[in-house]
Amino acid sequence: MPDEAAVAARLAGRDPWLRLRKPRYQLQMIGDLLELLPEGRCRLLDIGAGNGLVAETLAALAPGKQPIGVDIAGHALPDLRIPFARFDGRRLPFADGVFDCALMCNMLHHVKPEMRARLLREALRVTGGGPLIIKDHLASTWLDHVRLWALDVLGNAPRGFMISASYLEPGDWERLLAELGLSGVILPPAPYRGGAFSLVFPNRLEICLRVSRDSL
Protein backbone atom coordinates (compact mmCIF):
# COMPACT_ATOMS: atom_id res chain seq x y z
CA MET A 1 0.00 0.00 0.00
CA PRO A 2 1.46 3.39 -0.99
CA ASP A 3 1.55 6.21 1.58
CA GLU A 4 -1.68 5.77 3.58
CA ALA A 5 -2.09 9.45 4.43
CA ALA A 6 -1.84 10.39 0.76
CA VAL A 7 -4.42 7.78 -0.21
CA ALA A 8 -6.74 8.97 2.59
CA ALA A 9 -6.37 12.56 1.36
CA ARG A 10 -7.11 11.46 -2.20
CA LEU A 11 -10.26 9.64 -1.08
CA ALA A 12 -11.39 12.59 1.04
CA GLY A 13 -10.90 14.90 -1.93
CA ARG A 14 -13.27 12.79 -4.02
CA ASP A 15 -15.96 11.80 -1.49
CA PRO A 16 -17.02 14.29 1.23
CA TRP A 17 -18.26 11.42 3.46
CA LEU A 18 -14.68 10.20 3.71
CA ARG A 19 -13.53 13.51 5.24
CA LEU A 20 -15.33 12.89 8.51
CA ARG A 21 -12.73 10.51 9.92
CA LYS A 22 -9.82 8.40 8.72
CA PRO A 23 -11.30 6.04 6.10
CA ARG A 24 -9.82 2.95 7.72
CA TYR A 25 -12.25 0.58 6.02
CA GLN A 26 -11.61 1.98 2.53
CA LEU A 27 -7.83 1.99 3.07
CA GLN A 28 -7.83 -1.66 4.12
CA MET A 29 -10.08 -2.58 1.22
CA ILE A 30 -7.92 -0.81 -1.35
CA GLY A 31 -4.83 -2.46 0.15
CA ASP A 32 -6.48 -5.88 -0.13
CA LEU A 33 -7.57 -5.25 -3.71
CA LEU A 34 -4.09 -4.07 -4.70
CA GLU A 35 -2.70 -7.29 -3.25
CA LEU A 36 -5.04 -9.41 -5.36
CA LEU A 37 -4.82 -7.51 -8.65
CA PRO A 38 -2.69 -9.10 -11.36
CA GLU A 39 0.70 -7.46 -11.68
CA GLY A 40 1.50 -5.03 -14.48
CA ARG A 41 -0.83 -3.89 -17.19
CA CYS A 42 -4.42 -4.97 -16.65
CA ARG A 43 -7.70 -4.14 -18.35
CA LEU A 44 -10.04 -4.28 -15.39
CA LEU A 45 -13.84 -4.31 -15.40
CA ASP A 46 -15.36 -3.04 -12.15
CA ILE A 47 -18.86 -4.52 -12.02
CA GLY A 48 -21.19 -2.64 -9.65
CA ALA A 49 -18.73 0.22 -9.52
CA GLY A 50 -21.05 2.56 -7.60
CA ASN A 51 -19.56 6.05 -7.76
CA GLY A 52 -16.43 4.64 -9.42
CA LEU A 53 -14.06 5.85 -6.70
CA VAL A 54 -12.61 2.44 -5.85
CA ALA A 55 -11.60 1.71 -9.45
CA GLU A 56 -10.42 5.27 -10.00
CA THR A 57 -8.21 4.99 -6.90
CA LEU A 58 -6.78 1.63 -7.99
CA ALA A 59 -5.91 3.14 -11.37
CA ALA A 60 -4.17 6.06 -9.68
CA LEU A 61 -2.18 3.85 -7.29
CA ALA A 62 -1.27 0.90 -9.47
CA PRO A 63 0.57 1.64 -12.71
CA GLY A 64 -0.90 -0.05 -15.77
CA LYS A 65 -4.35 -0.68 -14.34
CA GLN A 66 -6.98 0.42 -16.81
CA PRO A 67 -10.43 0.15 -15.23
CA ILE A 68 -13.85 0.58 -16.75
CA GLY A 69 -16.78 0.80 -14.34
CA VAL A 70 -20.26 -0.55 -14.98
CA ASP A 71 -23.34 -0.45 -12.80
CA ILE A 72 -27.10 -0.75 -13.03
CA ALA A 73 -27.36 2.64 -11.30
CA GLY A 74 -26.05 6.03 -12.35
CA HIS A 75 -24.22 7.18 -9.22
CA ALA A 76 -20.83 7.77 -10.84
CA LEU A 77 -18.94 10.82 -9.63
CA PRO A 78 -19.69 13.70 -12.01
CA ASP A 79 -15.98 14.11 -12.79
CA LEU A 80 -15.04 10.43 -12.58
CA ARG A 81 -11.62 9.89 -14.14
CA ILE A 82 -12.28 6.42 -15.56
CA PRO A 83 -14.82 5.31 -18.20
CA PHE A 84 -18.19 4.33 -16.75
CA ALA A 85 -21.32 2.82 -18.34
CA ARG A 86 -24.70 1.67 -17.15
CA PHE A 87 -26.01 -1.76 -18.08
CA ASP A 88 -29.02 -3.95 -17.36
CA GLY A 89 -27.36 -6.01 -14.61
CA ARG A 90 -27.54 -9.17 -16.71
CA ARG A 91 -25.57 -8.96 -19.94
CA LEU A 92 -22.24 -7.12 -19.79
CA PRO A 93 -21.99 -4.94 -22.91
CA PHE A 94 -18.54 -6.24 -23.89
CA ALA A 95 -17.14 -8.92 -26.18
CA ASP A 96 -15.67 -12.18 -24.88
CA GLY A 97 -12.25 -11.95 -23.27
CA VAL A 98 -11.66 -8.21 -23.66
CA PHE A 99 -10.70 -7.77 -19.99
CA ASP A 100 -7.80 -9.27 -18.04
CA CYS A 101 -9.63 -9.21 -14.75
CA ALA A 102 -12.99 -8.27 -13.18
CA LEU A 103 -13.69 -6.68 -9.82
CA MET A 104 -16.89 -7.02 -7.80
CA CYS A 105 -16.48 -4.88 -4.73
CA ASN A 106 -19.19 -4.98 -2.09
CA MET A 107 -21.80 -5.62 -4.75
CA LEU A 108 -22.53 -9.37 -4.92
CA HIS A 109 -24.70 -9.31 -1.79
CA HIS A 110 -26.89 -6.75 -3.56
CA VAL A 111 -27.52 -9.14 -6.45
CA LYS A 112 -30.51 -11.44 -6.03
CA PRO A 113 -29.26 -14.96 -5.08
CA GLU A 114 -30.80 -16.54 -8.19
CA MET A 115 -28.98 -13.99 -10.42
CA ARG A 116 -25.48 -14.32 -8.95
CA ALA A 117 -24.22 -17.30 -10.94
CA ARG A 118 -25.43 -15.69 -14.15
CA LEU A 119 -23.59 -12.44 -13.41
CA LEU A 120 -20.41 -14.30 -12.46
CA ARG A 121 -20.64 -16.26 -15.72
CA GLU A 122 -20.81 -12.95 -17.54
CA ALA A 123 -17.72 -11.78 -15.65
CA LEU A 124 -15.97 -15.00 -16.65
CA ARG A 125 -17.04 -14.54 -20.27
CA VAL A 126 -15.58 -11.03 -20.61
CA THR A 127 -12.37 -12.01 -18.80
CA GLY A 128 -11.90 -15.35 -20.53
CA GLY A 129 -12.17 -17.28 -17.25
CA GLY A 130 -11.05 -14.69 -14.74
CA PRO A 131 -9.46 -13.82 -12.48
CA LEU A 132 -12.39 -12.33 -10.58
CA ILE A 133 -11.52 -10.27 -7.53
CA ILE A 134 -14.41 -10.23 -5.12
CA LYS A 135 -14.68 -8.15 -1.96
CA ASP A 136 -17.85 -8.94 -0.08
CA HIS A 137 -19.21 -10.17 3.22
CA LEU A 138 -19.52 -13.42 5.13
CA ALA A 139 -22.53 -13.95 7.37
CA SER A 140 -22.11 -16.90 9.72
CA THR A 141 -24.96 -16.28 12.17
CA TRP A 142 -28.36 -14.59 12.15
CA LEU A 143 -26.77 -11.74 14.12
CA ASP A 144 -24.21 -11.28 11.33
CA HIS A 145 -27.07 -10.62 8.90
CA VAL A 146 -28.34 -7.87 11.21
CA ARG A 147 -24.83 -6.46 11.62
CA LEU A 148 -24.22 -6.38 7.88
CA TRP A 149 -27.58 -4.77 7.21
CA ALA A 150 -26.72 -2.07 9.74
CA LEU A 151 -23.34 -1.53 8.07
CA ASP A 152 -24.98 -1.26 4.65
CA VAL A 153 -27.44 1.31 5.97
CA LEU A 154 -24.63 3.33 7.59
CA GLY A 155 -22.33 3.12 4.58
CA ASN A 156 -24.68 3.16 1.61
CA ALA A 157 -27.70 5.26 2.55
CA PRO A 158 -25.77 8.57 2.71
CA ARG A 159 -24.42 7.98 -0.80
CA GLY A 160 -27.73 6.82 -2.23
CA PHE A 161 -26.32 3.34 -2.93
CA MET A 162 -28.41 0.19 -2.80
CA ILE A 163 -29.42 -1.15 0.62
CA SER A 164 -31.51 -4.20 -0.23
CA ALA A 165 -29.21 -7.17 0.22
CA SER A 166 -28.96 -10.88 0.91
CA TYR A 167 -25.69 -11.75 2.64
CA LEU A 168 -23.86 -14.93 1.68
CA GLU A 169 -23.21 -17.56 4.33
CA PRO A 170 -20.22 -19.93 4.13
CA GLY A 171 -22.32 -22.59 2.37
CA ASP A 172 -23.61 -20.04 -0.16
CA TRP A 173 -20.04 -19.11 -1.11
CA GLU A 174 -19.00 -22.76 -1.39
CA ARG A 175 -21.98 -23.65 -3.58
CA LEU A 176 -21.61 -20.60 -5.82
CA LEU A 177 -17.90 -21.13 -6.46
CA ALA A 178 -18.35 -24.90 -6.96
CA GLU A 179 -21.23 -24.37 -9.41
CA LEU A 180 -18.97 -22.21 -11.57
CA GLY A 181 -15.85 -24.33 -11.13
CA LEU A 182 -13.99 -21.47 -9.47
CA SER A 183 -11.09 -21.69 -7.08
CA GLY A 184 -8.37 -19.40 -5.86
CA VAL A 185 -7.24 -17.55 -2.77
CA ILE A 186 -9.09 -15.95 0.14
CA LEU A 187 -7.24 -13.32 2.13
CA PRO A 188 -7.13 -13.88 5.90
CA PRO A 189 -9.40 -11.58 7.99
CA ALA A 190 -7.93 -8.09 8.02
CA PRO A 191 -8.35 -5.13 10.41
CA TYR A 192 -11.11 -3.28 8.56
CA ARG A 193 -12.35 -1.91 11.89
CA GLY A 194 -10.67 -1.35 15.23
CA GLY A 195 -11.55 -0.85 18.89
CA ALA A 196 -15.16 -1.10 20.06
CA PHE A 197 -16.43 -0.90 16.49
CA SER A 198 -14.66 -4.18 15.68
CA LEU A 199 -16.30 -5.84 18.69
CA VAL A 200 -19.77 -4.94 17.43
CA PHE A 201 -18.89 -5.53 13.77
CA PRO A 202 -16.18 -8.23 13.75
CA ASN A 203 -13.64 -8.12 10.96
CA ARG A 204 -14.55 -11.69 9.98
CA LEU A 205 -17.62 -10.16 8.28
CA GLU A 206 -15.35 -8.97 5.45
CA ILE A 207 -13.95 -11.29 2.82
CA CYS A 208 -11.73 -10.68 -0.15
CA LEU A 209 -10.94 -13.37 -2.69
CA ARG A 210 -9.45 -13.91 -6.13
CA VAL A 211 -10.86 -16.80 -8.09
CA SER A 212 -10.61 -18.07 -11.61
CA ARG A 213 -11.59 -21.10 -13.63
CA ASP A 214 -8.14 -22.48 -14.04
CA SER A 215 -6.47 -21.50 -10.77
CA LEU A 216 -5.00 -24.22 -8.57
Ligand X SMILES: C[S@@+](CC[C@H](N)C(=O)[O-])C[C@H]1O[C@@H](n2cnc3c(N)ncnc32)[C@H](O)[C@@H]1O
**Residues near ligand X, by CB under 6 A:** 47-50, 54, 71-73, 75, 89, 105-107, 110-111, 119, 156, 161-162
| Closest CB to ligand X among residues 23, 48 | 48
* Rounded distance between C-alpha atoms, residue 27 and residue 127, angstroms: 26
* Rounded distance between C-alpha atoms, residue 128 and residue 66, angstroms: 17
The side-by-side arrangement of strands in the sheet containing 132-137 is 84-86, 65-71, 42-47, 101-105, 132-137, 206-212, 183-186
| Closest CB to ligand X among residues 43, 86 | 86
In the complex, least distance from residue 80 CB atom to ligand X, rounded to whole angstroms = 12
Radius of gyration of the chain (CA): 16
In the complex, least distance from residue 119 CB atom to ligand X, rounded to whole angstroms = 6
| Closest CB to ligand X among residues 66, 156 | 156
In the complex, least distance from residue 10 CB atom to ligand X, rounded to whole angstroms = 14
| Closest CB to ligand X among residues 14, 100 | 14
In the complex, least distance from residue 115 CB atom to ligand X, rounded to whole angstroms = 6
In the complex, least distance from residue 216 CB atom to ligand X, rounded to whole angstroms = 28
The 10 Å Cβ neighbour count of residue 37 is 21
* Rounded distance between C-alpha atoms, residue 3 and residue 19, angstroms: 17
| Closest CB to ligand X among residues 149, 183 | 149
Structural contact between residues 117 and 123, judged by C-beta atoms closer than 8 angstroms? no
Q: In the bound complex, which residue of the shown chain has the CB atom lying closest to ligand X?
A: 50
| Closest CB to ligand X among residues 77, 186 | 77
Phi and psi, residue 89, nearest 5° = 85, 0
| Closest CB to ligand X among residues 49, 132 | 49
How would you class 60 by CB atoms within 10 Å of its CB: exposed for 0-12, middle for 13-18, buried for 19 or more? middle
What is the DSSP secondary structure assignment for residue 136, as one 8-state letter?
E
In the complex, least distance from residue 75 CB atom to ligand X, rounded to whole angstroms = 6
Q: Facing residues of 132 across strands? A: 102, 211
In the complex, least distance from residue 127 CB atom to ligand X, rounded to whole angstroms = 15
Amino acid at 105: C
